[in-house]
Structure 1
């Protein structure tokens, strides 16, 4: 396929990601100390219910432990499931006027401006909100904001690939030594992975994808699954670019970032539902998320005043070969998303296997 046709296939409309000012949008700006909010949360009952996007049930156990250790007597009930399923269930709660979740943290970034316009979110600015990059938040209503930058990197197992010293590009993965060695998430099953393929093919064309298929990659559901397989000694696959493992993904696993196309970064975004049953507990949780202490523990901070000390990319807004604001625009353009989804489904077939939350590989 020519590069002209590639552009026609891959280039969709560009949508602005500005939020329309909704009803009663003036936010409550938090002025209390964290201890005052903590005491209010304990008096409320000491429980906060959070739904977090992800594809393994235990992915946010460390967040639960950190919150409960910081605030004894508090209980964080956190449920992890695919964002594309959780957002529909939130819509059902809103439609039935039966909200039982306090806080939501999702990958479906297009939902937050819609919910804000519908008046479904609490307009509340935690301490530290003013330090969050403006591109990652609703600056007017303070109804939603990123709390951590997620990203896909190239990851490979050095024990399985002892002769590979570095992988500097997506084109490297087309070399003979990666034949039958790749494991990848279906792009038609996860919009962030879909965006990864979209960006690569904008730079390298559909021929890159044709050549990738000749490498006979293993296709799986879930973005945690590829890293599990790459890390496991019992699997032959040894490299992926559709998993998030942070900057220290585990024993024998190295990561790198490509120099021939953009890689995906985005702010995983959080909000409190306006009719949350535990509003003070939710406020405590969100103040914890944006606190300087917690932001220093995430791989890439959303706060412009905090360096991510473990990251080689301390300032995400000036990191080469990525733009953390573009995923939100992509997610808002559902016409392009659906068109691309069916393009890949036509090439790969529908995603096979159970949900990664119940599939043990």
Structure 2
């Protein structure tokens, strides 16, 4: 089921953040006023978004376009590690294309902010977002939360006990039944495997290497193979719709982060990007 159109994440973040009084410097214009300003500006903007496939954020693009039909929203989805170096090159060569960027390579945002490449902008209710999920000056904020661990297909266990810890995955009974994203290709998956290695040791890594794991590019593939029943377990992905079970928390290592979004200070269409950030899905 698609998330209700442009329901903000502020309510969720507010549960984590102290106080409810908005701080100075936050946007005070209404959505209608921001929309009018975006249309007057030219009615368009370009966003670069991290993702495994070009269609990964189609729902996002459709939702925004349905809500704001007078805005031409160009959304380009590719791996975050491709977007960031492209943006660096465009900044250096003064050929910047995107107005707005949302990536999982979180380290880029403080770097861009310190270089003055991100616009300091605090949308409505910015102060309600937990401090760990926003830049104090408004240069960036998390607008979605993601988590990676491993999943298993509860309908494909074929009599095997469900794996309750990554240590279980090293059992030979799971050989040939595991799919995974390449740990050296996706930075978030690499970090997840790093946490697993620190928690369970190199002996665990050696045993996993003997499991005939189906490694594939993209976190979506491991999930799809598990969901289809072709594999039982998917590592470096997420999901919770039946019959898929996500394993993380309760003492089991997993990874969670806030996908950051920021407006480029040299954006050609700042009014439209502000509208997007205020109405963040």
TM over 0.5: yes
Are 2:65 and 1:68 aligned? Answer: yes
Are 2:98 and 1:95 aligned? Answer: no
Are 2:225 and 1:226 aligned? Answer: no
Alignment of 1:1-361 (within 5 A): 29-139=26-136, 141-164=137-160, 166-233=162-229, 235=230, 237-245=231-239, 247-248=240-241, 252-257=243-248, 259-289=250-280, 294=281
- Unpaired runs of 5+ residues, structure 2, are 1-23
Higher relative contact order (CA 8 A, sep 6+): 2
Question: What's the secondary structure of 1:152's corresponding residue?
Answer: strand
Aligned residues: 258
Q: CA deviation at 1:254?
A: 2.5
Aligned to 1:310: none
**Distance across 1 between alignment mates of 2:142 and 2:162:** 31
Q: CA deviation at 1:282?
A: 0.4
Q: CA deviation at 1:256?
A: 2.5
Q: CA deviation at 1:85?
A: 0.8
- 1:286-312 Cα distance to aligned partner (Å, 9 max, x none): 1111xxxx3xxxxxxxxxxxxxxxxxx
Report if aligned partners of 2:48, 2:100 keep a CA contact under 8 Å in 1: yes
Provide the TM-score with structure 1 as the length reference: 0.68
Report if aligned partners of 1:158, 1:164 keep a CA contact under 8 Å in 2: no
Question: What's the secondary structure of 1:266's corresponding residue?
Answer: strand
Report if aligned partners of 1:170, 1:258 keep a CA contact under 8 Å in 2: no
**Distance across 1 between alignment mates of 2:208 and 2:44:** 48
Report if aligned partners of 2:178, 2:232 keep a CA contact under 8 Å in 1: yes
Question: What's the secondary structure of 1:156's corresponding residue?
Answer: strand
**Distance across 1 between alignment mates of 2:228 and 2:29:** 47
**Distance across 2 between alignment mates of 1:138 and 1:54:** 23
Q: Which has more strand, going by share of residues?
A: 2
Q: CA deviation at 1:261?
A: 3.8
**Distance across 1 between alignment mates of 2:25 and 2:128:** 16
**Distance across 1 between alignment mates of 2:51 and 2:268:** 23
**Distance across 2 between alignment mates of 1:138 and 1:197:** 28
Report if aligned partners of 1:168, 1:259 keep a CA contact under 8 Å in 2: no
C-alpha RMSD over aligned residues: 1.8
Question: What's the secondary structure of 2:245's corresponding residue?
Answer: strand
Report if aligned partners of 1:159, 1:252 keep a CA contact under 8 Å in 2: yes
**Distance across 2 between alignment mates of 1:170 and 1:182:** 12
- Unpaired runs of 5+ residues, structure 1, are 1-26, 295-361
Question: What's the secondary structure of 1:115's corresponding residue?
Answer: helix
